[in-house]
Amino acid sequence: MYVLIRRLGAGSGPTRTFQDEELAVDQLSIGRGTDQELLLPGERVAYRHAEISLSAGQYRIRALGSAGVTLNGRSCKVAVLNSGDQILIGDYRLVVLPTPEGVDLALSLEVLEQQDAPAVDPTLFTTRLDALPHWRSRRWAWLLFSVMLLGALLLPALVALQSNWQSSFRDTPLVPDDSFWLSGPLHSMHSTIGKDCQACHTSPFSRVKNEACMECHTDTAMHISESHPDTSMFEGERCASCHHEHNGEKRMVFDDQRFCADCHGELQHRMSDTPTVEQATDFYADHPEFRLSMLQWQPQSQSWLQSPRQTVAESLQENSHLTFDHAEHLDPLGIKNEDGDWQVLSCNSCHQVAAGGINMAPIKMEQHCGSCHALSFDLQDPQRVVPHGKPDQVLANLREYYAAQFLRHRAAAADARGTRPGMRSNLSELQREGTLWVEKKSMAVAEDLFERRACATCHQVERNLKQPEKWLVKPVQLNKKWLAASQFPHARHSQSECADCHAAAQSTQAEDILIPDIAVCQECHKGQQATQGLRSGCISCHSYHQLEGAHPGVRP
């Protein structure tokens, strides 16, 4: 089809200028795209805005974009064009002209002037964030940076270094206190330190020193003696190597056995001479047999000495100078007591846990043995006993007793006969008789007591050959600390029977060792990493700060 486009120029009415252009097209495409037949520049015109086509003898306009076209003042999508119709597209007005000769369609085209009518002015509205006042991210960035740097670093650093400022800052409300710098909560035991960080952190940029800990913990025992040849092993180790503060309540003392195992797994490499303790890294998997600390009688110094710890062997014997038969005392049928009755004893008839629940209370003769083993010597007077533990006084007691007996019976009878006046008194006669009788009787009873009946039942007794009236009872000392390097809390094992660990019912001699070996403990106590059984780390039994008793051999 042939389309005439009349572009209207300046002027008005009949004198208005125009320029004609003829297009030969299949259909007239209108838009701002350069491929459009009728090109209308301007933002408000779409690239392909509309097209006019001939169909069934009628010219139709069809809007292609969302903006649509306005035909005679009405928005429309599709419309049939008639002569005189006005089409508005963007700022352009097309008018359908009466069709002249030689063309199929004639359109006039003019650019509309901007009317002076009220319209929305986009410059009045703020439609971008960066157009907002104060919305400058760099400004906020530097502000926050400065605030944090000043408030969180420079000012606190200044206060930390100026000790006279600290109290006034700590008293100021709203200012974050020292806890704002804690990497974690203090252990409550250290709450007495309060907010004084410098109590432990004595100098900036250096680690907490042991001296800071020792200032309060003065009595803490060392692990090894200062005179130990290998104190260099501990160089660089700090209290804080094991005690990690700022971890709250539970983690101040770690039960992790690796704290011990990292040294005790390779002591032979760390120490210059042979280690006094064997390798141990895990109670169940890697722990030496128990070694017992024994008491030894030193005849020269007349004292007991705790011997170096010895491995349990068949030949190892306790030498307490006591004679005792556990099996006989624990006979399930009973044992004859003082009154001649049969009495069944159990372990706790004699052995009780001491206050504190760790050790067993000591065995006392008067309390535990005396009720059966009374030190009586006269059948006529069974209440009368000699004192225990004082052999020298035994004979004196007997002499006093029999002298009194002599006076009461023999001398009183002689008195009754009377003395004739002028006659010599028979007192010296009586005296001589009494002295002889008392001495003879006392010695006989003493010999019986010491060597046959009372003392010898339990004790090793020797008679002094040069002084026959003296007997020597060997001193008795029961071992209180078998496992010197560890603690065994008896009370916490009250669920078990004594016999589960101590084979007392089979022991007939006081020399027998009744401390169980490690396998007995390992029946229940497994290693720390064990999945079954009681998980037991090193500090279940041992303590690090245990210089007392742990290494008697290396004490200064």
Angstrom distance (rounded) from CA 522 to CA 283: 8
Q: In the stretch 75-114, what mask flags binding to another protein with x, by CB under 8 A? A: x------------x-xx----------------------x
The answer to whether 197 contacts another protein (rule: CB under 8 A) is yes
Contact set for another protein, span 204-233 (CB under 8 A)? 204-208
The residue range among 78-86, 163-171, 199-207, 455-463 that interacts with another protein, by the rule CB under 8 A, is 199-207
CB of 136 to another protein, least distance (A): 9
The answer to whether 138 contacts another protein (rule: CB under 8 A) is yes
Strand partners, 304: 297
The answer to whether 346 contacts another protein (rule: CB under 8 A) is no
Q: Where does 389-535 have alpha helices with state H? A: 391-406, 412-417, 427-447, 455-458, 498-501, 518-522
- Judged by DSSP in three states, 450 sits in helix
Output the CA–CA distances (angstroms, integers) from residue 213 to 160, 192, 205, 219, 227, in the order listed. 21, 13, 17, 11, 22
Contact set for another protein, span 300-329 (CB under 8 A)? none
Q: In the stretch 51-80, what mask flags binding to another protein with x, by CB under 8 A? A: --------------xxxx-x--xxx-----
In the complex with another protein, the residue whose CB is nearer, 114 or 300, is 114
The answer to whether 202 contacts another protein (rule: CB under 8 A) is no
Applying CB under 8 A, among 244, 364, 408, 432 the residue interacting with another protein is: 244
Beta strands 105-111 and 2-8 are: parallel
Contact by Cβ (8 Å): 538, 260: yes
The answer to whether 163 contacts another protein (rule: CB under 8 A) is no
CB of 200 to another protein, least distance (A): 9
In 3D, which of 270, 224, 263, 272 has the Cα closest to residue 241?
A: 263
The answer to whether 125 contacts another protein (rule: CB under 8 A) is yes
Contact set for another protein, span 251-280 (CB under 8 A)? 251, 254, 256, 258-259, 262
Long-range CB contacts (within 8 A, 24+) of 321-324: 321/297, 321/459, 321/460, 321/474, 321/475, 321/476, 321/477, 322/458, 322/459, 322/476, 322/478, 322/510, 323/457, 323/458, 323/459, 323/460, 323/510, 324/458, 324/509, 324/510
What's CA 287's distance to the chain center, in Å?
Answer: 23
Contact set for another protein, span 416-455 (CB under 8 A)? none
β-sheet with 74-76: strand ranges across: 18-24, 2-8, 105-111, 92-97, 86-89, 69-71, 74-76
The answer to whether 46 contacts another protein (rule: CB under 8 A) is yes
Angstrom distance (rounded) from CA 5 to CA 82: 16
In the complex with another protein, the residue whose CB is nearer, 154 or 305, is 154
At which residue do the structure tokens 């270094």 appear?
A: 161
CB of 95 to another protein, least distance (A): 17
The answer to whether 531 contacts another protein (rule: CB under 8 A) is no
Number of residues that bind another protein (CB under 8 A): 71
The answer to whether 179 contacts another protein (rule: CB under 8 A) is yes
The answer to whether 173 contacts another protein (rule: CB under 8 A) is no
The answer to whether 483 contacts another protein (rule: CB under 8 A) is no
What's CA 357's distance to the chain center, in Å?
Answer: 24
Q: In the stretch 351-380, what mask flags binding to another protein with x, by CB under 8 A? A: ------------------------------
CB of 172 to another protein, least distance (A): 18
Please give the full DSSP string across 504-521, using - where no structure is assigned.
GGG--STTS-----HHHH
The answer to whether 165 contacts another protein (rule: CB under 8 A) is no
CB of 239 to another protein, least distance (A): 13
Contact by Cβ (8 Å): 414, 426: yes
What DSSP character marks residue 475?
P
Q: For residue 49, how many other CB atoms are within 10 A of its CB?
A: 24
At which residue do the structure tokens 């390779």 appear?
A: 266
CB of 536 to another protein, least distance (A): 18
Applying CB under 8 A, among 17, 137, 274, 531 the residue interacting with another protein is: 137
CB of 191 to another protein, least distance (A): 16
The residue range among 140-148, 348-356, 406-414, 437-445 that interacts with another protein, by the rule CB under 8 A, is 140-148
At which residue do the structure tokens 């369609």 appear?
A: 105
Applying CB under 8 A, among 24, 78, 144, 413 the residue interacting with another protein is: 144
In the complex with another protein, the residue whose CB is nearer, 65 or 489, is 65
In the complex with another protein, the residue whose CB is nearer, 148 or 365, is 148
Applying CB under 8 A, among 117, 189, 416, 423 the residue interacting with another protein is: 117
Q: What is the gyration radius of the CA atoms in the chain, in angstroms? A: 57
CB of 117 to another protein, least distance (A): 4
73: alpha, beta or left? (left if phi > 0; alpha if psi -120 to 50) = left
- Judged by DSSP in three states, 437 sits in helix
Applying CB under 8 A, among 122, 299, 418, 422 the residue interacting with another protein is: 122
Applying CB under 8 A, among 20, 41, 47, 534 the residue interacting with another protein is: 47
In the complex with another protein, the residue whose CB is nearer, 32 or 490, is 32
The residue range among 77-85, 117-125, 296-304, 413-421 that interacts with another protein, by the rule CB under 8 A, is 117-125
In the complex with another protein, the residue whose CB is nearer, 33 or 516, is 33
- Determine the Cα angle at 494 with ends 492 and 496, to 5°: 115
Applying CB under 8 A, among 142, 435, 523, 545 the residue interacting with another protein is: 142
Phi, psi of 338 (to 5 degrees): -60, -35
In the complex with another protein, the residue whose CB is nearer, 156 or 549, is 156
